[in-house]
Structure 1
Amino acid sequence: MTNTRNQLCSCGSGLKFKKCCLEHQNKYTVFCDETGNSGSNYLDLNQPFFVIAGWVVPNTILKNTAFLDECASSLGVPGELKSSKLLNRKKARQEFISLFERLNELGCIPVFIYAEKKYCIAAKVIDTLLDPKYNNQLDDWFTYDNVTKKAFIEKVYLFPEELLTSFIHAYKDCDAEKMTQCILKLSDYAYSIGLDTLSTLFKGALSKIESNMASEKAANKRLPNNAMAAINLPVFASLIQMIEPLGRKNKVTLTLIHDECGQFEEAYNDVFERFATADPSERKFVDGNTITFEFQHLKDFSFGNSEQNRWLQAADILAGVLGRLFDRIYHDKLQNDELLELVRPLIPSFFRQDIDLSRSICSISTVNKIYEVIPSS
């Protein structure tokens, strides 16, 4: 029997297999980046979505970035490939179609989460005001009843924008007096449109509003740059909660590398450590979803410099394409068929049934609007 361990590796590196690709078998690196980053400014209507996206790359091909160099050369880009600078160019969009196809051929898998900022405000209303710890109308069971929570969020999503605006400003200030006035307005409006139960639940938050806001203020101080109040943190948490099960299902080891983002780096590291190194357990919700504690497959997390890393540039392009697509669908301005061509290689990530490769944190109406376009592409 031939001992393949001592033969030259088939990848062409010139090294023996045991010193090359054998070390990388069943190991993958996820390179990710973001778009639509407005931090705690949930009300940035010019950027209705926050997207975090990346490529799951087999470690056996990490050194194979020649095709990315060729893409940059073809576009006349001497340095970093940046979607924000290139997506307006027709040639760039055409090059990115080929780039995505090549990434698929190499076994790279796109993963992404897209969050609608207005929906996130509605979710923040429910999470903050209908927390059983600070609401005398609710029992602890409600903490895990995300089916009922999501139904309430959909209702609040349709509230007048000025009510959502006043809430998020009061929340960012952690001001008990402002929040009290906001709760009364939310309750009155809910009652006026026949949402009696929700109206009553909102008023239940009044009894402990000072301790609730004090708790939020303390949480905000724990991490710098007001990270606890930003949309970025929960979306990042959702990403790592998607990647760990991916590793478990496929019995592979994963490393996550995020493009440098100074404002939230400490917060991201904190969130990762809290999940990754916690005592092993799973928190199950009513709809069957779970939160996993103690990561067994997502072993490492770090930040990289996209100027020096072509794979992070590929993640930037993926996030940029998705961000632009969702924005144009949202504003009924999708007129560029090349965007749909760019999304074609990503369709399996939208529709995989056996494992999550994408997640939406959006209203039902927005998800339906996006999915009306995606299958037709």
Structure 2
Amino acid sequence: MSNLRNQPCSCGSGLKLKKCCMEHLNKYTVFCDETGNSGSNYLDLNQPFFVIAGWVVPNTILKNTAFLDECASSLGVPGELKSSKLLKRKKARQEFISLFERLNELGCKPVFIYAEKKYCIAAKVIETLLDPEYNNQLDTWFTYDNVRKKALVEKVYLFPDEQLANFIHAYKDGDAEKMTQSILQLSDYANSIGLDTLSTLFKGALSKIESNMASERAANKSLPKNAMAAINLPVFTSLIQMIEPLGRKNNDTLTLIHDECGPFEEAYNEIFERFATAAPSERKLFDGNTITFGFKHLKDFSFGESDQSRWLQAADLLAGVLGRLFDNIYYDKLQDDELLELVRTLIPSFFRQDINLSNSICSNSTRDKIYEVIPSS
């Protein structure tokens, strides 16, 4: 083994194996970016989804970005590859098919999480109003019963958009009086469609609405720039909860690099530190999912500048492709052959069974609609 370590590395660098690729074995860097970012605006109909997506890149190929440079050259892009500027071009979409195939060949894995904003409002209704600490109709066990919670979210998702809008505005303002009116509206509607139990549960939130709203205001101020009130933070949390088990599967070490994201950087850093440095433990939820504390494999998190990193640009392209795909499916406007061809390169991440490479935070109907397209692509 000692002799092998001292042999020239097979990558052609001219360095000894022990000073080159051997240092990077079982080490990966995840480069990610976002699309559909409208912060605390859960009602942005022009962007119904928020997506975080990226590539898990073996550290052995981090310096191999020539093929990304060639992609930019082929498209006549003198600087940064950006999906917002390129996806409208047919030639660019065709070029990205080859690019995504090349990334797969190099052992890069696409990872992503997509969240439907309307569904997130419904989830916020349940999490806020059906908190046992502030609802006299619920026992503490309900806190971890995410199976029942998801079933209730599906029902609230079908409530009139106006009622969901009234709730989220009251929530963002932290106004107990507005929230009281929203609760009564939600309760009356639930009763009118035969959801008597849900109607009663909503009214259970009225007795402690002042303290509930005070708690929500305090929670939203617990992280910089009111980040707790936005959709970004729970989706980012889902991402790091997906990456840590990814490292555990093969005892890999991972580093996460996110493109600069302005007002959410401090909050992302703080959330990462809370989970990564906590005492090691796992919290099992009723549906079999696990929340992990004390990371052993996701070792580091930082931000990078996309104009200085081709890998972050590749993450931007992936997020842009997925965001456009989901929006087009959502509004029944998917007529893009190149976009469908791109999706074919991502199918393993949608359907892989041994480890999660993707996650969805959306209604069952929306997920079914998306999956009707994905297999046929």
User: Is TM > 0.5 for Structure 1 vs Structure 2?
Assistant: yes
Q: Deviations over 1:129-159 (max 9, x none)?
A: 0011111111110011111000000000000
**Alignment correspondent of 2:221:** 221
Q: Deviations over 1:152-180 (max 9, x none)?
A: 00000000000000000000000001001
**Alignment correspondent of 1:131:** 131
Specify the SS of the correspondent of 1:288. Answer: coil
The sequence identity of aligned pairs, in percent, is 87
Q: Distance in 1 between matches of 2:331 and 2:47?
A: 11
Q: Distance in 1 between matches of 2:232 and 2:14?
A: 43
Q: Distance in 1 between matches of 2:2 and 2:253?
A: 28
- Aligned partner letter, 2:278: A
Specify the SS of the correspondent of 2:263. Answer: coil
Q: Distance in 1 between matches of 2:228 and 2:221?
A: 8
Structural RMSD (CA): 0.8
Say if 2:312 is the partner of 1:312.
Answer: yes
**Alignment correspondent of 1:287:** 287
In the alignment of these two chains, the number of paired residues is 377
Q: Distance in 2 between matches of 1:232 and 1:250?
A: 29
Say if 2:54 is the partner of 1:54.
Answer: yes
**Unaligned 5+ runs, structure 1:** none
Q: Distance in 2 between matches of 1:250 and 1:83?
A: 32
**Alignment correspondent of 2:7:** 7
Q: Distance in 1 between matches of 2:146 and 2:123?
A: 11
Q: Distance in 1 between matches of 2:166 and 2:225?
A: 22
Q: Deviations over 1:4-30 (max 9, x none)?
A: 211111111121111110000000000
**Unaligned 5+ runs, structure 2:** none
**Alignment correspondent of 2:100:** 100
Q: Distance in 2 between matches of 1:147 and 1:249?
A: 26
Residue 38 of structure 1: how far off its partner (Å): 0.3
- Aligned partner letter, 1:107: G
**Alignment correspondent of 1:367:** 367
- Aligned partner letter, 2:25: Q
- Aligned partner letter, 2:288: G
Residue 223 of structure 1: how far off its partner (Å): 2.0
- Aligned partner letter, 1:248: R
**Alignment correspondent of 1:200:** 200
Residue 353 of structure 1: how far off its partner (Å): 1.1
Say if 2:116 is the partner of 1:116.
Answer: yes
**Alignment correspondent of 2:44:** 44
Specify the SS of the correspondent of 1:113. Answer: strand
Residue 107 of structure 1: how far off its partner (Å): 0.1
Bigger mean CA offset, 63-72 vs 10-19: 10-19
Residue 262 of structure 1: how far off its partner (Å): 1.3
Say if 2:33 is the partner of 1:33.
Answer: yes
Residue 2 of structure 1: how far off its partner (Å): 7.7
Q: Specify whether residues 138 and 2 from structure 1 end up closer, same or farther in structure 2 by C-alpha distance, changes over 3 A only.
A: closer
- Aligned partner letter, 2:359: R
Residue 225 of structure 1: how far off its partner (Å): 2.3
Specify the SS of the correspondent of 1:3. Answer: helix
- Aligned partner letter, 2:33: D
Alignment of 1:265-280 (within 5 A): 265-280=265-280
Say if 2:87 is the partner of 1:87.
Answer: yes
Bigger mean CA offset, 86-95 vs 9-18: 9-18
Residue 224 of structure 1: how far off its partner (Å): 2.5
Residue 222 of structure 1: how far off its partner (Å): 2.0
Residue 226 of structure 1: how far off its partner (Å): 1.8
Say if 2:249 is the partner of 1:263.
Answer: no
Q: Distance in 1 between matches of 2:175 and 2:340?
A: 45
Q: Distance in 1 between matches of 2:194 and 2:370?
A: 30
Q: Distance in 1 between matches of 2:280 and 2:142?
A: 23
Q: Distance in 2 between matches of 1:22 and 1:291?
A: 32
**Alignment correspondent of 2:325:** 325
Residue 280 of structure 1: how far off its partner (Å): 1.1
Q: Distance in 2 between matches of 1:79 and 1:266?
A: 28
- Aligned partner letter, 2:218: A
Q: Deviations over 1:214-248 (max 9, x none)?
A: 01111122222220100000000000000001111
Bigger mean CA offset, 222-231 vs 262-271: 222-231
Q: Distance in 1 between matches of 2:76 and 2:89?
A: 12
Q: Deviations over 1:172-211 (max 9, x none)?
A: 0000010011000000000000001100000011111111
| Runs of 4+ displaced beyond 3 Å | none
Q: Distance in 1 between matches of 2:202 and 2:89?
A: 49
Q: Distance in 1 between matches of 2:196 and 2:222?
A: 37
TM-score using structure 2 length: 0.99
TM-score using structure 1 length: 0.99
Say if 2:75 is the partner of 1:75.
Answer: yes
**Alignment correspondent of 1:238:** 238
Q: Distance in 2 between matches of 1:180 and 1:2?
A: 72
Residue 359 of structure 1: how far off its partner (Å): 0.4
Q: Distance in 2 between matches of 1:303 and 1:12?
A: 30
Q: Distance in 2 between matches of 1:239 and 1:61?
A: 23
- Aligned partner letter, 1:35: T
Residue 337 of structure 1: how far off its partner (Å): 1.0
- Aligned partner letter, 1:79: G
Q: Deviations over 1:8-61 (max 9, x none)?
A: 111111211111100000000000000000000000000000000000000000
